[in-house]
Amino acid sequence: MHILGLDFATQTGVAYGDAGAPPSRIQTETWSLPGGGGEDVGEFMHALRARLDDRIMRGVQLVIFEAPYVAMHRGNDQRMHHSPNQIRRAFGAAAMCEEVCYARGVECREVVTVTLKKEFAFHGHAKKPDMIRAAQARGFRPQNDHEADALACFTHIIIHDFPHFAHLYDPFNQFARVNGS
């Protein structure tokens, strides 16, 4: 089964490959999408849809993405705020991915960030360098934290849906440890 793991952002992490392929054969890339922090959410969504369509047309059978999470930032009034455009991009990307997959007959799932971090880097509050190190320890070659997060998505679906391949992506048997198995 050809799987696509995604970490949505203006620098979207992408991991794709066949379940059961060795980690060295799982490909990663980063999609640089327009609209970083700006108001043009439409341009971001258009570029994302084009990338999703292109990748799905290459034989993807299952897509898994990191569930939207929107961090707060301190505004000029020193209070914590969410950026409306960031919220629109994050939840819009998830909705668009599900719609594109539905239209193409491709299975689509999401996984919560804390679950990914707990399974992949041993704790739910793992930082970006922790995720990169966890990916490298499994034999993956991410170029940045976005790709490491996409690899965590890819690994999550393998461990849960294809347990007979789990040893390839979880050489430390971490999933069993974290979940008390």
User: Is residue 106 predicted with pLDDT exceeding 80?
Assistant: yes
Q: Are strands 2-7 and 73-74 parallel, antiparallel or unpaired?
A: unpaired
User: Is residue 180 predicted with pLDDT exceeding 80?
Assistant: no
Express each pLDDT in 125-150 by its tens digit: 899 999 999 999 999 999 999 999 99
Average pLDDT, the chain: 87
Percent of the chain with pLDDT over 70: 85
Q: What does the pLDDT read at residue 58? A: 94
Residues 6+ apart with CB under 8 A from 51: 12, 31, 33
Q: What does the pLDDT read at residue 57? A: 93
Q: How many structural domains comprise the chain?
A: 1
Q: What does the pLDDT read at residue 90? A: 85
Mean pLDDT of 90-112: 95
The helix (H) or strand (E) run that includes residue 163 is none
SS3 state of residue 21: coil
Residue 121 to residue 152: CA distance in whole angstroms: 9
Mean pLDDT of 38-45: 81
User: Is residue 83 predicted with pLDDT exceeding 80?
Assistant: no
Q: Is the pTM of this model over 0.85?
A: yes
- Choose between 19 and 122: higher pLDDT: 19
Question: Which amino acid, one-letter code, is at 156?
Answer: H
Residue 71 to residue 106: CA distance in whole angstroms: 30
Q: Are strands 27-32 and 11-18 parallel, antiparallel or unpaired?
A: antiparallel
Mean pLDDT of 43-68: 94
The CATH number covering residue 172 comes to 3.30.420.10
Calculate the alpha carbon distances from 42 to 35, 115, 174 in Å. 9, 30, 40
Residue 48 to residue 33: CA distance in whole angstroms: 7
Q: What does the pLDDT read at residue 120? A: 92
Name the band, by pLDDT with cuts 50, 70 and 90, for residue 72: low
Rg of the chain taking only CA atoms, in angstroms: 16
Structural domain span for residue 165? 2-178
